Amino acid sequence: MSSSTRIIRAALLAAAGVALAAAAYLLREKHQEAEAAVQDIQDQLDALDPATRAAVIARLTADEVKKVRAHQA
């Protein structure tokens, strides 16, 4: 194998490593954003009185069931 082929392989491997590191960083950032959104929703639900909270959860559940059934049809 010539030295130029080795250099090209090394450069491609380094570029792949950089791309993988960037993807991991973006994934971690999106995961943290999702966790913050979930915590915000949970905090808002916790602030409701029990009857209102139960009604909100029932409504959200019913809406999601409709979405799932619509996608299965």
Q: What is the pLDDT along the chain (73 residues), one digit of tens a residue?
A: 688 999 999 999 999 999 999 999 999 999 999 999 999 999 999 999 999 999 999 999 999 999 999 988 7
**pTM for the complete prediction?**
0.61
Q: Cα–Cα distances in Å, from 65 out to 37, 45, 48, 50, 53?
A: 21, 20, 23, 22, 18
Displacement of CA 66 from its chain's centroid (Å): 23
